């Protein structure tokens, strides 16, 4: 084996090890590694738990926005969260004529800055147990913290729990949630 091949194989092994360690710093989501050097969209498409969210983001035309520089915080509902909506809701929202409503719903899950869970917990504490979280969709969520879990309440009184926090992205952070939050209707 030549010196160049030895050097190349050693560099490859280091790169693979570094890549694996890099992914280990972030939680797995939907059976996929989430990489800090990839943006929200690049990571979300790999999560088996977020195929409905990805389809909705595509239907709403928000791919370019969520792939942009950011920073963003995305409260990302799982497929099960969308499935818990009344029958036919998702299919209806994905229709082109409902793009505006879909966009509003999705952007009510997005904050225009990166907010890690410890910072959010601090804001909740500072505000006496509940902290308003304004979203880019014009909704205000109410965040609370109890029993080691962050809960978000939408403007209709619906709630979602953060099930996986602090999934770092190159353009922000994702917090996986167990329900779809809705704007005031």
Task: Give the residue extent of every domain in the chain.
Answer: 3-177
CATH 2.30.180.10 fits 3-177, yes or no: yes
- Res. 17: pLDDT tops 60: no
* Cβ-proximal residues to 70 (8 Å cutoff; 6+ apart), any chain: 39, 40, 114, 169, 171, 172
Under a CB-based contact definition with an 8 Å cutoff, are residues 173 and 73 in contact? yes
pLDDT tens string 41-52: 888 888 888 999
Under the banding of pLDDT at 50, 70 and 90, the label for residue 24 is: low
Under a CB-based contact definition with an 8 Å cutoff, are residues 40 and 66 in contact? yes
Under a CB-based contact definition with an 8 Å cutoff, are residues 151 and 144 in contact? yes
**Highest averaged pLDDT of the listed ranges 7-16, 62-71, 100-109:** 100-109
Supply the mean pLDDT for the chain.
85
The per-residue pLDDT for 8 is 34
pLDDT tens string 143-166: 999 999 999 999 999 999 999 999
The per-residue pLDDT for 25 is 76
What is the C-alpha separation between 163 and 152, in angstroms, rounded? 11
The per-residue pLDDT for 1 is 43
- pTM (predicted TM-score): 0.84
């Amino acid at each position: 084996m030549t010196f160049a091949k030895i050097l190349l194989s050693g560099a490859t092994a280091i790169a693979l090890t570094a890549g694996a360690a890099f992914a280990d710093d972030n939680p797995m989501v939907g059976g996929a590694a989430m990489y800090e050097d990839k943006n929200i969209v690049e990571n979300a498409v790999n999560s088996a738990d977020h195929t409905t969210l990805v389809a909705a983001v595509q239907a709403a035309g928000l791919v370019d926005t969520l792939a942009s520089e950011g920073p963003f915080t995305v409260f990302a509902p799982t497929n099960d969260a969308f499935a818990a909506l009344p029958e036919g809701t998702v299919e209806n929202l994905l229709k082109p004529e409902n793009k505006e409503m879909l966009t509003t719903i999705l952007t009510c899950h997005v904050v225009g800055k990166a907010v890690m869970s410890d910072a959010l917990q601090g804001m909740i504490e500072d505000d006496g147990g509940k902290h308003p979280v304004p979203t880019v969709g014009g909704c205000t969520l109410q965040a609370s913290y109890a029993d080691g879990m962050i809960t978000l309440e939408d403007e209709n009184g619906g709630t979602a729990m953060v099930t996986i926090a602090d999934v770092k992205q190159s353009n922000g952070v994702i917090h996986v949630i167990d329900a779809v939050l809705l704007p005031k209707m």
